[in-house]
Each structure stands twice: as C-alpha cells, then as structure tokens.
Structure 1
Amino acid sequence: MAEQHKSASEPSAAKMRKRISEEGLMPLLEHLGELRRRIFYSLIVLLVGLGIGLYFAKPLYLFVIEDGPMKGVDLHTFSLWDGIGMYMKFAFLIALVLVLPFVFFQLWSFIKPGLSEKEQRATLKYIPFALVLFLMGLSFSYFVIAPMAYEFTTSVSRSLGLIETYGVMQYITFLFNILIPISLLFELPLVIMFLTKLRVLNPLRLRKMRRIAYFVMIFIGTVITPPDVISDILVSIPLLVLYEVSIFLSGNVYKKQLAADAAWEKEYEQFDNE
C-alpha cells in the first residue's frame, strides 16, 4: 500500500518540480527577450546616428584640423581607405554623443519594473546628465590632454632629428584613443549614483575600493598621456577627483535611502503596535 502511494506521489512530485522549473524559466526568458529588444533599439539609434554623423563628419573634421592640436600641419594619406576611415571615426563619435542618453534610457526602461514609483522618477532624472558629462569629458580631453600629448610626442621627434610626416588616419586614431576613454570615464559619477540608487553600491563599499580605484585611475592616466610626470599628474588628478565626487554623490543618495528606510520602519512599528 505504501509502495503504491509512493509510486503515485512520484509523478506528481516530478510534475511539481517541472512546473516550478518552467515558472522560473519563463520570467528569465522574458527578461532576456526584453534585454534583446532594448539592445536592438539602441543599435537602430546607433545606425541612425552614424547616418547623421556621416553628414556632419566633414565639418567636424575641418574644425579639428584647423583648430586642433595639429593646426597648420600637413596631413597625408597612405591608403585608399584613409578618407573613408576618417569619415567613419567622426561619424561614430557623433553617433556616440547621440546614442548615449538613449542607451541610458533603455537601461532605465529595462530595470523600471523592479523599481518603485519614487525610484523610477529619481533614476530618470540622471539620464540627461549622461550627455552633459560626456561632453565635459570630450572637452577636457580635446582641449587639455590632446595638445599636451601632441606637444610631447613632437618634441621627442624633433629632438631626434626626425622629419614629421603625419598620416591623417594616424593622427585621427591618436586623437580618438585619447578622446573616447576620457569621455566615457566622465560618466563615472552618473553610473555610481545610478548603481547606488539601485542599492548595488554604497559609499562604504566605494571607500573600501578606494586603493584599487586610485590604482586603476592612475594607470589609465599614465597610459593615455605622454610618459612624463607632469602630464601624468595633470590627467590623474582630475580622474581621482572624479572618483571622490562619485563617492560624495553616492553618499547623498545613500543618506536619503537610510532616512527613507528609517521612516518606513518607524511607520511599520507604529502600525504593529496598534
């Protein structure tokens, strides 16, 4: 009798496990489908941005050549593809400026169902600042770091008696290797605030990571600048300040979260006492 009961219960237990597995799998598949949809939208906007960027690539190129670090220097082409490559690099930069706020909005839309209405409004306010911070990083790297790097490299070449003959793609690649990383690093405060609002990070954890973060910032500042102490310091200090600003902003968000949690617990205790 017991054996019959056991054999009868085994299929039902198996069905239950299968049902639980399917119920857990369906939300995961739905989330993956939603993420894929958000990525697809971002790629569409990136392609549109590339189209717009191709239209404005030449005016931007002329501005960089006429007013950039290598103003007055003759640039040469060493490949039939150099002109096309130059167009694509400037188009990508313009597309990145256009798509960045949209990517942050898609990220916000993806995690929106898991946020309260108050958290949704709070995190949505961060999105416009993505473009502002990126443009600030772009300006800093273009007007401060790039001229400094160019002056150092050309001074070394001249001290060696080398004849300066620059290719347009070499120059643009040199410039973009400085502009893009620094501009993206300027998004750090926004990302830190966003993750703090989601309770992924907090200022306590960021302070514990300070040594590692400082090492990474100084390493990045050393890599993207000429190998002299002055340049390294001039670039590393703003990056370190950027991290400290991120900790400060994270602290503000974290204090509000603690205050909200304390208010909720107090309200819950009053309700429980009644």
Structure 2
Amino acid sequence: MADHGVRPAGGPYVPKPDEEKQMNLLEHIGELRRRLIYVLAALFIGLVLGLLAAEPVYDYLMSVEPASKLTELHAFSLWDGIGMYMKIAFVVALLIVLPFAFYQLWAFVSPGLKARERRAALGYVPLAFVMLAVGLAFSYFVVFPLAFDFTTHVSRSLGLEETYGIAQYFSFMFNIIVPISLLFELPILVMFLTRIGILNPARLRKMRRYAYFGLIFVGVLVTPPDFISDMLVALPLILLYEFSVYMASSVHRRMQRREGRLKEDEN
C-alpha cells in the first residue's frame, strides 16, 4: 500500500519521502523541458539570422581560397541554391546556439552547486564560444584546404574536367568543419562535467584508448585517404583530448584542495 502524506489538523499537508522524491523528479523534468524549449527557440532565431547573413557569408567564402581558385560553381538542381543558404544558416545558428546551450546546461545544474562553483562554471560559457571559433578557424583554414587540394589533385591527375556543383562543394566543406568545430568543445565539456562531479581524471585516463580510436576515426573520415592528411587532423584532436585530461586534472586538484581547507576550518 502506498505511503501517502498526512494533513495534521489545522496544518499544511506534509508529503511522505517517496512523494517528495516523485515531486522533485517531476520538477527536474519540467525544468529540463523548459531549458530545451529555450535552446530550440534560440536555434530557430539563429536559423533566421543565418538566412539573413547567408548572402554576405557566401560572398566572403567565394572570395577566399580555395573557392577563389574555382572559375565557377554550378547548380544541378532547383534546390541547390536553397540548400546552400540552409547550410550557411545552420553554421551561423550553431555559433549562436552552442554557447547558449552551455548556459542553459549551467542554469539547469546550478541549483545543486555552491555559490563559488556556480561562478566558476559560468565562466565556461564564453570559453565555449572561443573554442568553437578556434575550431572553425582550424577546420576551415587548415583541414579544408588540405582536403580540397588533395581531391582536386587526384581529379587532375586522372585527366578529369573539374565541374563542381554548389551543393556538393558546400556539403564537402561543412562535413569537414562542423564535426571538427564541435570536437573543439571537448575541453570545455570535460572541465564542466568534472566541476559538477560526473567525470574525473582517472576515468578519462581509462577511456584514453577508446578516445584515441574515436578521434583517429574522425580524422580519417573527414580527410582525404592519405596518411599525412589523416595525421594532420587526428594529431591535433588527440592533443585536444590530452589537453582536456590536463584541464580536468587541474579542476579536480583545485576542488580537492578547497574541500581539504573546508575540512580544516571545520576541525
């Protein structure tokens, strides 16, 4: 039989522990749903702003290498132009939404953090934007030209006439820069999860071999099939993981020192 709460005579209703847990769970689910709605609304706004910015962004991308090497791009479908606009809008929305999503994650878990931990975790929000921008720059100015030069070199060595479609060109570009840019958020995510106690340096070190395999797989997937290009991408990603482990260790040590000082003060 369920253990229901009681209402003392003339007093407020007092829920039982099981009812309190159920109420807290429902409150957390409702709060999570509210945060997700905020993120979806920001994504919609980002897509609208991305569509407005698509033309100047397109003009810039076509004015710099490697696009400037091409004589012209072709549309092979009536939807190719729209698809290009939507791809650019998605990347612009990503720049807007990702830091905002980090803030919503912080707002969701912050009630369970101490005041000092809340202030420290809030600092990860601007860092998320910085790391995303660094990832975009690295993937566009380093990885993408390598992949483009390799594929065009192969085409020319086979005597093929280069006729590029706008949809294929931008799909090729964004399939490279989006995954790599997101991976540059790894140190911020690891530091945040370490701060709230979900991850720790020991667990990250145990996961190292699986992480290396996954990062090398990503490097091979987004680059041309040659060893040099694969390593030029996979090596920075592996260094990024090791940097994440180092930052997690630093955060963990500071947390342990703070806890030790608090115990000394209590004694």
**TM-score, structure 2 normalization:** 0.92
Aligned residue for 2:68, secondary structure, equals: coil
CA contact (8 A) 2:4 2:19 kept: no
| 2:178 corresponds to which of 177, 180, 187 | 180
Equivalent position of 1:52 in the other structure: 49
Please say if 1:63 is aligned against 2:63. Answer: no
| 1:240 corresponds to which of 238, 241, 250 | 238
| 1:192 corresponds to which of 190, 193, 211 | 190
Matching residue's letter, 1:49: G
Q: CA deviation at 1:127?
A: 0.5
Matching residue's letter, 2:82: I
Equivalent position of 2:26 in the other structure: 29
Q: What is the count of residue pairs matched by the alignment?
A: 257
Aligned residue for 2:247, secondary structure, equals: helix
Q: CA deviation at 1:19?
A: 4.8
Q: CA deviation at 1:23?
A: 2.4
Q: CA deviation at 1:229?
A: 0.7
Equivalent position of 2:3 in the other structure: 15
Measure, in 2, the Cα distance between the counterparts of 1:15 and 1:231: 64
Matching residue's letter, 1:228: D
Equivalent position of 1:130 in the other structure: 128
Equivalent runs, 1:88-99 vs 2, <5 Å: 88-99=86-97
Moved over 6 A (4+): none
Matching residue's letter, 2:32: L
Q: Which has the larger radius of gyration?
A: 1
Aligned residue for 1:166, secondary structure, equals: coil
In percent, how many aligned pairs have the same letter?
53
Equivalent position of 1:39 in the other structure: 36
Deviations, residues 169-219 of structure 1 (Å, cap 9, x unaligned): 000000000010000000011001001101111112111211111111111
Q: CA deviation at 1:154?
A: 1.1
CA contact (8 A) 2:191 2:244 kept: yes
Structure 1: stretches of 5+ with no match in the other structure: 1-12
Measure, in 1, the Cα distance between the counterparts of 2:2 and 2:94: 51
| 1:159 corresponds to which of 157, 170, 173 | 157
Equivalent position of 2:224 in the other structure: 226
Measure, in 1, the Cα distance between the counterparts of 2:153 and 2:67: 13
CA contact (8 A) 2:99 2:129 kept: yes
Aligned residue for 2:198, secondary structure, equals: coil
Please say if 1:253 is aligned against 2:251. Answer: yes
Higher helix share: 1
Equivalent position of 1:8 in the other structure: none
Please say if 1:207 is aligned against 2:205. Answer: yes
CA contact (8 A) 1:46 1:99 kept: yes
Aligned residue for 2:2, secondary structure, equals: helix
Matching residue's letter, 1:125: G
Matching residue's letter, 2:137: S
Measure, in 1, the Cα distance between the counterparts of 2:53 and 2:163: 27
Deviations, residues 42-62 of structure 1 (Å, cap 9, x unaligned): 111111111111111011111
- CA-based RMSD: 1.5
CA contact (8 A) 1:66 1:72 kept: no
Measure, in 1, the Cα distance between the counterparts of 2:96 and 2:54: 14
| 1:108 corresponds to which of 106, 109, 115 | 106
Measure, in 2, the Cα distance between the counterparts of 1:27 and 1:68: 55
Matching residue's letter, 2:35: R
Equivalent position of 1:4 in the other structure: none
